[in-house]
């Protein structure tokens, strides 16, 4: 997670909930990230935060401090900690900052693993993870709420755990997610995401034939300066947050390439933005330019072939294949893998057949 410097005498504050759109990707829920200015007098951190957060109560802030959801200079602090000039403060939210009620809804869930502390869910493409503006129902969390209610009748709509979502993947990205079921689990997993120790491996089909067999993309990711619903890469680090993606070529098809991407950080749309940045947007990514022919001569038969491929995989060809972490209670290493969904399997089969015919 990046440590973005403030101005000389400015209080830096950023609300990451604003970055987490309905189809946001993996990013720990930061409610607040700020750096104390040079002229700040010593003050209890709960009082300091209450002054700067509209609608925040001191009791809720103290609970967040007790839960380890407030870090100062990368370490948890108690409510009687007195802030100092240049302290860097991060407040993690125990729920997303939209405040919508979670309504349980019966829907199929592909639960790969579950115990008292965590759930691993294999999310299908097209499913929004969390209710937000424009998507108040039919989300993964609505389904999880219904599932938990069936297991425990004592859980009410008011007490449904909403702190369990410590990361997300895009609406149109498929694959594995981990959800925390206890406060202990959310603190442990949140810390692991913050420390970049969670193992995350993706498979993506990208446009073009990459020159290198493997490489690393280092470029900050932040909101596009003109189009605020998009994100962009800032390789000089002048804007956005630090983002690092490691990639490796798995299979080449001439005009497109199957790659493995390993995230060192988890920014909104990170893989999609990074691959576009190096000239290889994800296949059929309609947000970042992959929904048109990027490589290959545009003649009628090829264009028809690509259109058929778009029809098979009607979203960006990106799958969260692997997730690994240290179990919050047992401290054992946990690692889970998932197969490619049918649409990406069929897409790859079609490209393999096309490539084989072209080379004959």
C-beta contacts of 20-23 below 8 A and 24+ residues apart: 20/96, 20/132, 20/168, 20/268, 21/132, 21/229, 21/268, 22/128, 22/130, 22/132, 22/133, 22/134, 22/135, 22/171, 23/128, 23/170, 23/171, 23/172
Residues in the chain with pLDDT values less than 50: 1-28, 94-99
Q: Which residues pair with 91 in a beta bridge?
A: 32, 70
Say if residue 291 is in the same domain as residue 168.
no
* pLDDT tens profile 259-284: 999 999 888 899 999 999 999 999 99
Question: Given this model, what pLDDT does residue 162 score?
Answer: 53
Say if residue 339 is in the same domain as residue 237.
yes
Pairing of strands 88-92, 70-72: antiparallel
Question: Given this model, what pLDDT does residue 36 score?
Answer: 87
Residue that is last in its domain, among 140, 165, 194: 194
Q: What domain range includes position 143?
A: 111-194
Say if residue 344 is in the same domain as residue 206.
yes
Say if residue 331 is in the same domain as residue 275.
yes
Say if residue 178 is in the same domain as residue 156.
yes
Say if residue 265 is in the same domain as residue 301.
yes
Q: Where are the alpha helices (DSSP H) in 78-207?
A: 140-151, 183-194
In a domain, 47, yes or no: yes
Residue that is last in its domain, among 194, 219, 248: 194
- Say how far apart CA 253 and CA 255 lie, in whole Å: 6
- What one-character DSSP code corresponds to residue 259? E
Say if residue 122 is in the same domain as residue 168.
yes
In a domain, 343, yes or no: yes
In a domain, 121, yes or no: yes
Selecting among 94, 170, 232, 285, the annotated active-site residue is: 170
Say if residue 132 is in the same domain as residue 271.
no
Q: Residue 243: which residues within 8 A CB-CB, separation 6 or more?
A: 217, 218, 219, 220, 221, 233, 265, 267, 270, 273, 274
Domain at 58, CATH number: 3.10.290.10
Q: Which residues pair with 220 in a beta bridge?
A: 234
- Say how far apart CA 337 and CA 246 lie, in whole Å: 18
Does residue 343 carry a catalytic annotation?
A: no
In a domain, 101, yes or no: no
Say if residue 218 is in the same domain as residue 335.
yes
Say if residue 208 is in the same domain as residue 70.
no
Instruction: Answer whether 359's CB lies under 8 Å from 325's CB.
Output: no
Question: Given this model, what pLDDT does residue 15 score?
Answer: 31
Q: Which residues pair with 113 in a beta bridge?
A: 120
Question: Given this model, what pLDDT does residue 20 score?
Answer: 35
Say if residue 276 is in the same domain as residue 159.
no
User: Which residue from 119, 105, 129 is spatially nearest to 186, judged by alpha carbons?
Assistant: 119
- Distance from CA of residue 243 to its chain's centroid? 12
Instruction: Answer whether 275's CB lies under 8 Å from 281's CB.
Output: yes
pTM score: 0.74
Residue that is last in its domain, among 172, 194, 216: 194
In a domain, 179, yes or no: yes
Q: How many residues in total does the chain contain? A: 360
Neighbours of 355 (CB within 10 A): 16
Biggest distance spanned by C-alpha atoms of the chain: 75
- Measured between alpha carbons, how far is residue 322 from residues 23, 157, 180, 234, 297 in Å? 20, 32, 17, 27, 35
Total tally of structural domains belonging to the chain: 3
User: Which residue from 348, 332, 336 is spatially nearest to 175, judged by alpha carbons?
Assistant: 336
- Rounded-to-5 percentages of helix, strand, coil across the chain: 25, 25, 50
In a domain, 233, yes or no: yes
In a domain, 14, yes or no: no
Say if residue 188 is in the same domain as residue 212.
no
H or E element that contains 236: none
Domain at 143, CATH number: 3.30.2350.10
Q: Locate 214 and state its tokens.
A: 């493997």
Vertex 248, ends 242 and 254: CA angle to 5°?
A: 120
In a domain, 98, yes or no: no
- Measured between alpha carbons, how far is residue 185 from residues 91, 115, 189, 191, 240 in Å? 17, 11, 6, 10, 29
Q: Where are the alpha helices (DSSP H) in 221-299?
A: 270-277
């Amino acid at each position: 997670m990046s440590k973005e410097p403030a101005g000389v005498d400015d209080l830096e504050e950023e609300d990451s909930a604003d970055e987490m759109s309905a189809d946001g990707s993996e990013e720990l829920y930061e409610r607040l990230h700020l750096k104390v200015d040079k002229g700040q007098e010593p003050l209890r951190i709960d009082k300091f935060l209450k002054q700067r957060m509209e609608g925040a109560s001191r009791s809720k802030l103290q609970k967040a401090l007790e839960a380890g959801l407030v870090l100062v200079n990368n370490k948890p602090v108690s409510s009687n900690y007195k802030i100092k000039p240049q302290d860097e403060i991060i407040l993690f939210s125990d729920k997303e900052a939209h405040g919508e009620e979670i309504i349980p809804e019966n829907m199929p869930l592909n639960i790969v693993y579950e115990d008292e502390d965590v759930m691993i869910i294999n999310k299908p493409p097209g499913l929004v993870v969390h209710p937000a503006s424009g998507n108040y129902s039919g989300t993964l969390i609505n389904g999880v709420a219904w599932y938990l209610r069936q297991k425990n009748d004592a859980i009410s709509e008011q007490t449904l755990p909403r702190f369990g979502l410590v990361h997300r993947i895009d609406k149109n990205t498929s694959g594995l997610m981990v959800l925390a079921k206890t406060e202990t689990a959310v603190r442990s997993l949140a810390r692991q995401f913050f420390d970049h120790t969670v193992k995350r491996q993706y498979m993506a089909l990208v446009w073009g034939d990459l020159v290198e067999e493997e490489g690393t993309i280092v470029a900050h990711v932040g909101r596009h300066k003109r189009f605020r619903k998009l994100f962009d890469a800032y390789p000089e680090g002048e804007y956005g947050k630090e983002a690092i993606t490691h990639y490796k070529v798995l299979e080449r098809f001439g005009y497109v390439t199957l790659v493995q991407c390993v995230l060192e950080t988890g920014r909104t749309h990170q893989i999609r933005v990074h691959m576009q940045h190096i000239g290889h947007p994800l296949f059929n990514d309609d947000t970042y330019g992959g929904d048109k022919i990027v490589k290959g001569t545009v003649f009628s038969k090829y264009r028809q072939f690509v259109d058929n491929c778009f029809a098979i995989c009607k979203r960006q060809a990106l799958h969260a294949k692997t997730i690994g972490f240290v179990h919050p209670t047992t401290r054992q290493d946990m690692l889970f893998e998932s197969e490619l969904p049918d649409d990406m399997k069929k897409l790859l089969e079609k490209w393999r057949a096309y490539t084989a015919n072209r080379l004959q």
